[in-house]
Amino acid sequence: MTTPEVDIVVPVRLGAANQQFRYALRSWAANLPHRHIWVVGHRPAWAREVRHIPTQQTGTKYQNTTLGVRAACLHGEVSETFLLCNDDFFVMQPQEGGMPVLHRGPVSRVESYYEQRTAGPYLRGLRETRDLLIDFGHEDPLSYELHVPLPVAKDQMLKALDASRGLDVVHKRTLYGNLAGIGGEEMRDVKILNRSPRFDRESPFLSTMPDSFANGLVGQHIRSAFPKGCRYEAGSR
């Protein structure tokens, strides 16, 4: 569990309106205790009262987010433990006791899932991260690649990133979680990939793709949960 003194760190890609991020901020303001929000990379023009760590985004999306996480860990004003988020993570219920540590179960099981879906760089990065963890003595590592906030200790994440310098697609949450021995509770991933009406409306966490957010019932559900602007949006009171 984390405390309200932790910061939220969110790498943000270059883009236009980024409505998912707008509603993610609303959900964090309402339900995720924190001190400051740090936007790493691109800060949308409408975002206010967020702290900003600019980074150059000239690599792949994987390299850009790894660079952003390293920048946050090296920044002296970011809390020593922070919550690592993506800009499409929605916290749907109050986390009054702080954010728990959650994982997705064994990497081997997650690998089997992605073998049915893709043979791209994400799966390659999963396998290379797994192999690196095995080299470090973690024979059956856990996957922390959930679409939910992850509590991160800066010093331990930097050690994980240093250990992964030879990988261009590192599963940094998984590498960090196993090397730091953070444990946690297992849960299913909450990413909604398409417009299917089938999703858990009682889930404390949700995540979307741009299309499922804009055009799916899950997006309607999220937008109806947070209809009003928050302090992190220009023009809101």
What are 127-173's pLDDT values in tens digits?
999 999 999 999 999 999 999 999 999 999 999 999 999 898 999 99
Q: Is residue 230 part of a domain?
A: no
DSSP state of 142: B
Q: Is residue 158 part of a domain?
A: yes
* Mean pLDDT across 49-58: 95
Q: Is residue 233 part of a domain?
A: no
Can you tell me the distance from the alpha carbon of 89 to that of 208, in angstroms, rounded to the nearest whole number?
Answer: 8
Q: Is residue 205 part of a domain?
A: yes
Q: Is residue 2 part of a domain?
A: no
Residue 140's CATH number:
3.90.550.10
Q: Which residues contact 116 (CB under 8 A, 6 or more apart)?
A: none
- Whether 14 shows a pLDDT value over 90: the answer reads no
Q: Note down the domain range covering 137.
A: 7-225
Q: What are phi and psi of 92, to 5 degrees?
A: -90, -15
Q: Is residue 236 part of a domain?
A: no
The tally of domains found in the chain comes to: 1
Q: Is residue 61 part of a domain?
A: yes
Q: Is residue 218 part of a domain?
A: yes
Say which residue the tokens 């988020």 belong to.
85
% of the chain exceeding 70 in pLDDT: 97
